Each structure stands twice: as C-alpha cells, then as structure tokens.
Amino acid sequence: MAGLVDGIRQFGDDTWIRAEDPSAVGAVRRLATGLALASGFGDDRTGQVAVAATEAVSNLVKHAEQGMALVRLCPGVPDVVELITLDRGPGMPDVARALRDGYSTSGTLGIGLGAIARIASRYDVHSLPGKGTVLAVQFGKAELDALPPASGLVRPIGEESVSGDSYAIVTDGPVTTVLVCDGLGHGPAAAQASREAVALFLRSPGDEPREILARVHRGLNSTRGGAVAVARVTPAAVSYAGLGNVSGWISRADGRQGMISVPGIAGHQGGTLRQYEYELGEHASVVLHSDGLTERWSAGAVPGLFTRSPAVIAAGLLREAGSRRDDACVVIVRPRP
C-alpha cells in the first residue's frame, strides 16, 4: 500500500476466504488478529477483534449461502482493520431488530450482529430477505474520523492468488481521484501491468484525468497493457477519461448514466484520448469497475444498497454482478460535500 495524501492512496490485493466450512472461522480470525497486532492494537482490543471475526464468519458458515469474507487494513485509514462479509441469502427482514441485544432467530444472519456492532469502531450493513447480506466493519485503536468517501474491492479469477486488476484512490479535501486498471489477461503478467498503471498514476495524481491516462498509456508499453479509466469526482461533477473496457457509471435515484471510454489497450493501441465532464446531482454515486463485473447490474434490483457506505456498495455490486471467470475490481465514490 502506498503512502497517504489527504485521506486515501491505495491499491490492494484482497484475499477472500470462502466461508463454507468451519475452518474458515479460524482462518479469518488469524488474519484479523495478525493485522490488529501489526497495527499496534493491545491484547484486549485484539481479543475483541477476534471475537467479532469469529461471530461474523460463524454466521456465514452456519446460515449463509456462498458466503465470502475479507480482512484487510482499511483503505486510507492508518492502523484500522476492516472485515467485509457477503453472502446470498437468507438475509434479514429487520436489521435494526437484529442489532438489539439478545436477538436470535435460527436460520438468519442476525445472530451475533449486535455483539459485532458493539465491538466495532464503525460498521455498516445491508440486507434483503432472499437476496443476502453485506457487512463492513472497521476496528481501530481509538475513535475513527469521518467515513472515507471511497472504497474499492478486488477479487481474482477462480482460485488464483493474484488479480490482474488494480485500483488507486487519492483524496484531497472534497476532491477524489480514482484509477482502475484491468491488466490484459490474468495472472502475474496482468498484475504487473495494472500495478505499473497505479504507480504511474501516483506520480502526479493532481493532473487532469486525460493527462494521467496519457501518462499511463505511454508508460505501459513495456507491459502487456490493459484497460484504464480515471475519474476525478467533486461534490458537483465528474471529469472522466477512459481507454478500453473499464466501465464508468454515475448512479442516481432515477437510474444510472454511463461515462464514455475510447476503444483501445493502454500501452499498445488507442486513438485520441478524450476527457468528458458530467454533472452529478444530489445523492449520486460514481462507480468504476472492470469487465469482471457485468454491466447488467441495477441499483433498483438491490433496494437501499446505494444509501450505504462505499465499502458495502462495492461488496454488494461484487456479489450481484461479479464473475468468478474473470478478475474483478470495483470502486465506489460518494462525493464529499
């Protein structure tokens, strides 16, 4: 992970664990406690993180379908451990009730949710009966500041340990700039291309998106290349430049609007690079994703998802639209006022 600017600078390899067997509970707990200790958590706080991780993943193993769990250092927030879980069904009809002490209903994921919420420094959850649940929990040594305006997730194809997709996010006050790169193909060579794109982006993230894209296009000529998109998000508008099949969207209450990328492969072929400007409107979210997510997702198909935090939105879209037959990357930006 790169160093911080005013909030976030990152790219990441996210290691997902399938929560389909009791052994997943111990695996996630060990990852969570290891990151907590490495972040300087005391024994008591580390123990609390272990309890929360055990509760969350045990719920998935016992009650969920296609449960997945991720533990990582929280993007852009120093010394904070983040746990994300997602599943398909059974969901919870009443999340507020599930957070109450003593709530327990066999066959649902409500068991233990209140305990997790009490331990967490910050948490967010979205759940729909029959659709599934997404949970994002952050653990810090002290009280956390305001929620970061953006978050991203990466998941490699099949059982691969490395993804050919990467992303980076930089915040500077109310402005958030994002890069997503889908390295051509899969495996280490694709990962090398996408990570080089991130490094080129981070050399001067304050440039205009088209200038950043041009720098990445030139710089990837010694790699296999990839599809790249750059978005700069302010409270009122988005500046966007893309080359290849990374998808950019503005999601609003009344639907979504696609942003334009030009055809080509960064590092190898492409016509005139262009930058486009889009108005955001109130309560809009910006979505960038690789073609490891189908474009057929719809905010209306998961009511309430886009009112949640960027991490929960990203996980929800990964569940709804992600393919196990390709590397997948999704980044969500909720503009700061």
SS3 track for 28-41: HHHHHHHHHHHCCC
- pLDDT score of 10: 61
- Tallying the residues shown for the chain, one arrives at 337
- pLDDT averaged over consecutive 10-residue blocks of the chain (337 residues)? 47 82 94 95 95 91 89 86 92 71 50 82 92 94 85 90 93 95 94 96 96 98 97 97 97 94 94 96 95 93 94 96 92 89
The conformation of residue 174, written as its DSSP 8-state character, comes to T
- 115, containing H or E segment: helix 113-119
Rounded to two decimals, the pTM is 0.92
**160 exposed, middle or buried (CB, 10 Å; 0-12, 13-18, 19+)?**
middle
Distances from the Cα of 248 to the Cαs of 36, 54, 243, 295, in angstroms?
34, 36, 11, 10
- pLDDT score of 107: 46
- pLDDT score of 99: 66
Q: For the chain, which domains are there?
A: 16-139 (3.30.565.10), 150-333 (3.60.40.10)
Cα angle value 189/190/191 (rounded, 5°): 90
Distance CA(190)–CA(267), nearest Å, equals: 12
- pLDDT score of 3: 37
- pLDDT score of 258: 97
- pLDDT score of 235: 95
Q: Which of 45, 87, 92 is nearest to 70 (CA)?
A: 87
Q: Which of 142, 138, 161 is nearest to 16 (CA)?
A: 161
Distance CA(280)–CA(113), nearest Å, equals: 35
- pLDDT score of 145: 80
Distance CA(199)–CA(172), nearest Å, equals: 18
Residues 6+ apart with CB under 8 A from 59: 109, 111, 112, 113
- pLDDT score of 100: 61
Distances from the Cα of 186 to the Cαs of 106, 196, 324, in angstroms?
41, 15, 12
Distance CA(164)–CA(282), nearest Å, equals: 34
- 196, containing H or E segment: helix 187-203
**Does residue 231 contact residue 333 with C-beta atoms inside 8 Å?**
yes
